[in-house]
Amino acid sequence: MNVSTTAPTPPAGTDTYRPGSTITDWRPEDEAFWRSTGRKVANRNLWVSVPALMLAFVVWQVWSVTVVQLNDVGFSYSASQAFWLTAIPGLTGGTFRILYTFIGPIFGERKFTAVSTLILIGPLLWLGFALQDITTPYWEMALIAAVAGIGGANFASSMANVGFFFPKKEKGNANGINGGLGNLGVSVVQLVAPLVVTAAVLGAPAGGPLTSKKNGDDVWLQNGAFLWVPLLVIVALMAWFLMNDLKVAAAPFSQQKIIFKRKHNWMMTWLYVGTFGSFIGFASALPNLIKTTFTPIDPAYSATTYAWIGPFIGALMRWAGGWLADRMGGARVTMLSFVGMAVSLVVVINALPTGGDDGNFWIFYAGFLFAFFFSGLGNGSTFRQIPVIFRDQHMKGPLRAESQSEAQALKQSEMESGAVIGFSSAIAAYGFFFIPAMFANFSITSSLWCFIVFYASCLVVCWWFYARKSAEAPS
């Protein structure tokens, strides 16, 4: 491909790449364009996307930390009901991710980011008011959990959008930053929410406290929901006025649905279920898992004290995974992540209480921290693999004949990789639902062994299609 050596001049009458505009001329693979214009615009969109995605994860995960405190203030839910309240947001989040994958490019990602951020205020307000009344019925709590799950859907459109802005050599790092720092929302809510519920930090407008049965202290559970409302308003305005819509990213569903005929859409979705599905499922289940497994033995093992660190590590490692994949290849890093997760869960299994043995909390906890570490690496590397695979397939592989020109082939590969990123993230998000549901309905040990067997299948898929010497799509 010929590369321009001079900075391009946008055609007369087109956009000027200003904030809030729709960009019709976008060529990140053109080195001169990227240096003169592209990098600055891409980074501006990236750094507005990050806080929007982080807050979306806050809303998605707010139940994981709320549920462990409900019975302490007077709600009467069984362990199974508590697990279901943490699982339900994963079901709606995954389902709406499928929708958001295809709506974003139709609607315009700048506008869609702003609107999809703003509507998250609704479930937080509803939750905040419901938490002030211990007679709130379980069905209403379950419905609120379902609506809060919409926050998880923003990831699909956000990640697909960021990928369009950056050249091939920087996609892994850009997706790692957006996804990794966005995933930090899980840790942020699990760290901050338990702190703000201990005092009337939001004042009288947020409502009065409930009384803890454990120690008689006042507790303002609603603060964990209301705190994020003004931040959502601010970030939605930032998205509307500072981001851009990319004309090249616009595509009707009739064009995007081609991904369902692409084998590598399904293979990469399988791998991403293993990495992100584990990350988000463990993040959702761990607070309640600590409480039900170790807190009855020793109250010092507080779920809200320790649970946030695992997702924090996983989020940072997503960034590292994307960066590392750009340098040593995504498939190699992905394989490393599955081996690491499998070994980590074996450690967790051996630390669980059995019979008269109380188990070892610290080994259990360390095992989960390493599981988050390796899942984060895999999250970053798989999203680097997807654009590389589809670009190579369209530019010089078996799909090249479908496009009349090199420019059309490149555009088609970008559109398909964006759709695959969104779709794979949607299916993987069901890990948020299935992992807590498995812990609620089966033994912890049997559930963890199922995950290990699944990781083995992912390892085989990654090696066969992407990592071995004669792989079909090396990435």
Whether 42 and 166 have beta carbons less than 8 Å apart is answered as yes
The model carries a pTM of 0.82
Q: Is 13 domain-assigned?
A: no
CA distance 271 to 181: 21
**Residue 60 counted as domain residue:** yes
Check if the beta carbon of residue 386 is closer than 8 Å to that of residue 424: yes
**Position 79 confidence tier, pLDDT thresholds 50, 70, 90:** confident
What's residue 217's pLDDT? 84
In sequence order, what are the residues at sequence separation of 6 or more whose Cβ sits closer than 8 angstroms to the Cβ of residue 163?
171, 174, 175, 383, 387, 414, 417, 418, 421
Extended strands (E) in 198-335? 210-211, 218-219, 245-246
Average pLDDT of span 295-300: 72
Model confidence band, residue 457 (pLDDT cutoffs 50, 70, 90): very high
The verdict on residue 16 lying in a domain is: no
HSE-CB for 20 with a 13 A CA cutoff: 5
Question: CA 354 → CA 20, 79, 351, 410, 444, distances in Å?
Answer: 58, 19, 9, 56, 11
CATH number, domain with residue 449: 1.20.1250.20
pLDDT higher than 80, residue 204:
no
Residue 411 to residue 25: CA distance in whole angstroms: 12
Is the predicted pLDDT of residue 1 greater than 70, yes or no? no
Which has the higher per-residue pLDDT, 329 or 342?
342
Does residue 195 lie within any of the structural domains?
yes
Any idea what DSSP says for residue 298?
-
Residue 374 lies in a domain: yes
Q: For the chain, give the mean pLDDT.
A: 88
Counting beta carbons within 10 angstroms of the beta carbon of residue 109, is it exposed (0 to 12), middle (13 to 18) or buried (19 or more)?
buried
Residues 410-448 have pLDDT tens digits of 778 888 888 898 899 889 989 988 898 888 889 999 999
In a domain, residue 39? The reply is yes
Domain count, the chain: 1
Range of the domain at 445: 22-467
Residue 239 is assigned to a structural domain of this protein: yes
Assigned domain for 142 exists: yes
pLDDT score of 8: 46
Which has more pLDDT, 14 or 404?
A: 404
pLDDT level of residue 12 (50, 70, 90 thresholds): very low
| 104-127 residue pLDDT tens | 777 888 999 999 999 999 999 999
